[in-house]
Structure 1
Amino acid sequence: MQKLRFKIGIVTLAFLGACGPKLQLAKTEKQLYPISAEMPEDSAILSFYQPYKLKLDSIMNDVLAVSSKEIKKGSPEGTLNNFFADAMYDSAKEKGIEFDVAYTNSGGLRISLPEGNIYRYKIFELMPFENAFTRVKFKGEDMQKFFDYIAESGGDPISGARFTIANKKAVDITINGKPFDVTKDYVVLTSDYMANGGDGGVIFSKNIERKDLDYKLRDAILDYLAKMNKEGKKLNPVLDGRIKIK
C-alpha cells in the first residue's frame, strides 16, 4: 500500500488597510491518504491518460535486439560494461566524432539486460538519465592520471583502450592498439555528468579542451542496437581482457 501526503491549507481573509482583502495562510494540517488496489478507478483520469499510455506502450515495447545471454556489470570487466562502452564508441564513430577512448562510470548503468528480446523500455531503465556526450582532451600526463582513476575504482566501462591494474595504478596501457605515449594529447569521449566531475571524477577538471555534444548516451545505445538488428546480429558481448588485474 502506498500513501500520499497532502498539506491542507486553511486560509483566512484579512483586510489590510485600503489595499483591499488579501488571502493569508493561517496554518497547515498534514494527513496521510492511503492508496491501494482496492480503491475504485477514476474513470475521468483514466480516459484522460489512456491515449498517451497506449502510444507510449507501443513505442516502449518495440523489440530492438535479441541477446544470446544475460548481460551484467562486473569488475574489472563486465559484459554490460563492454557492451555499453563499445556502443558509445561505435555510434560516436558513425557520427564522425573524433576521439581516442570512450568511457563512462559503471554506477550509471542501472540494470542488467536479459537474455532474449531487448525492449526499448529496457534501455531507458538501463540509462534513465538525459546525459549527453562530451569530448575531453588531456595532456599525456593527465591521461595517465585518468587511467589511474579507473584503476583505483577497480575498473569502469571503457572502449578503445586496454590496461592492467597493479597496486591500484594503470600499467601496460595501449590505446587503439598502440602503446600509450605520455608526450601525446588524447581525447576521451564521456558523459557531461563525468566531465562535470560526477562520481568523484575530479580528473576531468584537468582537461585542456572540452566540447559538449548534442548526442545523448542513450541515443547512442539505441543507434547501436538498431545497427546490430539491421545486420541480423545477436547481442553477445564478451570479456576480452581489456582491463586486467595483476
Structure 2
Amino acid sequence: MRKFKFLTGIIAVALLAACSPKLQLTETKKQLYPISEEIKPDVAITSYYQPYKQKLDSMMNDVVVVSSKEIQKAQPEGPLNNFFADAMYQSAKDWNIKFDFAYTNYGGLRIPLPKGNIYRYKIFELMPFENAFTLVTFKGEDVQAFFNYLAEGGGDPISGAKFTIDNKKAIDISINGVAFDITKNYTVLTSDYMANGGDGGAIFNKAIARTDLTYKLRDALFQYLEKKQKAGETLNPVKDGRITIK
C-alpha cells in the first residue's frame, strides 16, 4: 500500500509539471539609464565602502619616489625601458634569484612616469597586471634566436645584456659584460606572460627549463623604488647604449 501511494504521488507531480504553463519571452524593451550627478547616492552603500576607500586612497597616494624628469619609453632603448628592466634585475638579485639577464616586453610598459612626485597608483598604472617572475633557460643557439627576436621587434627592455641591431639581427651580444658564448646555456628572468608565449613570444617554446616564481613584477618595481627613496636618490634612468642600431 505504501508503494502504491508513493507511486501515485510521483505520477501526480509529473502531471502537474506537464500541465504547468510554459513561459516564453514575447517582448523586450531597451532603455538607457543615464548616470549623472543628479542621481542621489545610496547612503547605505557609500557608508559601507567609505572606510575601505579611505584606506586604499591613503595607500595609493603615497609618494614612492621623486623623478628628476618625465620618463618615457622608446625603441630600440628608452629610459622607461631601462628603469623597468633594471628594477626587475636588481630586485631579483636582492631576492637571491639566479639568472643571467632580465627581459620584459615593450608593450607591457603602459604609461610614462611624470616628473616630480610619483605616487603608488602610478606604478599600478604602469604595471596593471598581476604578472609574476618566471625563469626560462635556453641553449646558446636559441639565446641567439632570442636576441634576434628582440632585434626584429625593434628592441625591448633588457638588463644585464647588451647588443646591436644590424638588419633586424642581433650582433655583438654581451651578457653581464662578457661576450655571448653560443655553447653555453643562459637563463632569462622574465614574466609568466611572456614565458607563456604572450605578445608574440613563440621563442619561449624553445626553452629547455622553466621555473615559475611567486614574486610579482610590480613588487620588484616597488622594492627598487623603495631602496632609492631610502637612499635619498631621485629616479633618473638614462639611455646607456645597451641596445644600439648599426
User: Fold match, TM over 0.5?
Assistant: yes
| Structure 1 equivalent of residue 226 of structure 2 | 226
Q: 1: distance between equivalents of 2:129 and 2:206?
A: 25
| Structure 2 equivalent of residue 195 of structure 1 | 195
| Structure 2 equivalent of residue 153 of structure 1 | 153
| Structure 1 equivalent of residue 4 of structure 2 | none
The alignment partner of 1:84 has SS state of helix
| Structure 2 equivalent of residue 178 of structure 1 | 178
* TM-score, with length taken from structure 1: 0.90
Q: 2: distance between equivalents of 1:53 and 1:32?
A: 28
Q: Offset at 1:26?
A: 2.9
Q: Offset at 1:19?
A: 4.6
Q: 2: distance between equivalents of 1:226 and 1:178?
A: 30
| Structure 1 equivalent of residue 169 of structure 2 | 169
Give 1 or 2 for the bigger CA radius of gyration: 2
Q: Name the stretch that deviates more: 126-135 or 26-35.
A: 26-35
Q: 2: distance between equivalents of 1:16 and 1:158?
A: 69
| Structure 1 equivalent of residue 120 of structure 2 | 120
* TM-score, with length taken from structure 2: 0.90
| Structure 2 equivalent of residue 207 of structure 1 | 207
Q: 2: distance between equivalents of 1:23 and 1:219?
A: 56
Q: Offset at 1:24?
A: 5.3
Does residue 80 (structure 1) correspond to residue 65 (structure 2)? The answer is: no
Name the structure with the higher helix share: 2
Structure 1 residues 210 and 35, CA gap change in structure 2 (3 angstroms): same
Q: Offset at 1:37?
A: 2.5
Q: 2: distance between equivalents of 1:23 and 1:89?
A: 64
Q: Offset at 1:16?
A: 7.3
| Structure 1 equivalent of residue 32 of structure 2 | 32
Q: Is the contact made by 1:103 and 1:189 (CA closer than 8 Å) also made in structure 2?
A: yes
Structure 1 residues 179 and 32, CA gap change in structure 2 (3 angstroms): same
> Residues 131-188 of structure 1: CA distance to partner in whole angstroms, max 9, x if unpaired?
0000000000000011011101101100000000000000000000000000000000
Compute the RMSD of aligned alpha carbons.
1.7
Q: Is the contact made by 1:65 and 1:235 (CA closer than 8 Å) also made in structure 2?
A: yes
Identity of aligned residues (%): 69
| Structure 2 equivalent of residue 46 of structure 1 | 46
Structure 1 residues 94 and 24, CA gap change in structure 2 (3 angstroms): farther
Structure 1 residues 101 and 43, CA gap change in structure 2 (3 angstroms): same
Q: Which runs of 5+ in 2 are unaligned?
A: 1-12
The alignment partner of 1:76 has SS state of coil
Structure 1 residues 106 and 17, CA gap change in structure 2 (3 angstroms): farther
| Structure 1 equivalent of residue 55 of structure 2 | 55
| Structure 1 equivalent of residue 8 of structure 2 | none
Q: Offset at 1:47?
A: 1.2
Structure 1 residues 208 and 19, CA gap change in structure 2 (3 angstroms): same
Structure 1 residues 22 and 174, CA gap change in structure 2 (3 angstroms): farther
Q: Is the contact made by 1:165 and 1:245 (CA closer than 8 Å) also made in structure 2?
A: yes
Match runs of 1:6-17 below 5 Å: 17=15
The alignment partner of 1:113 has SS state of coil
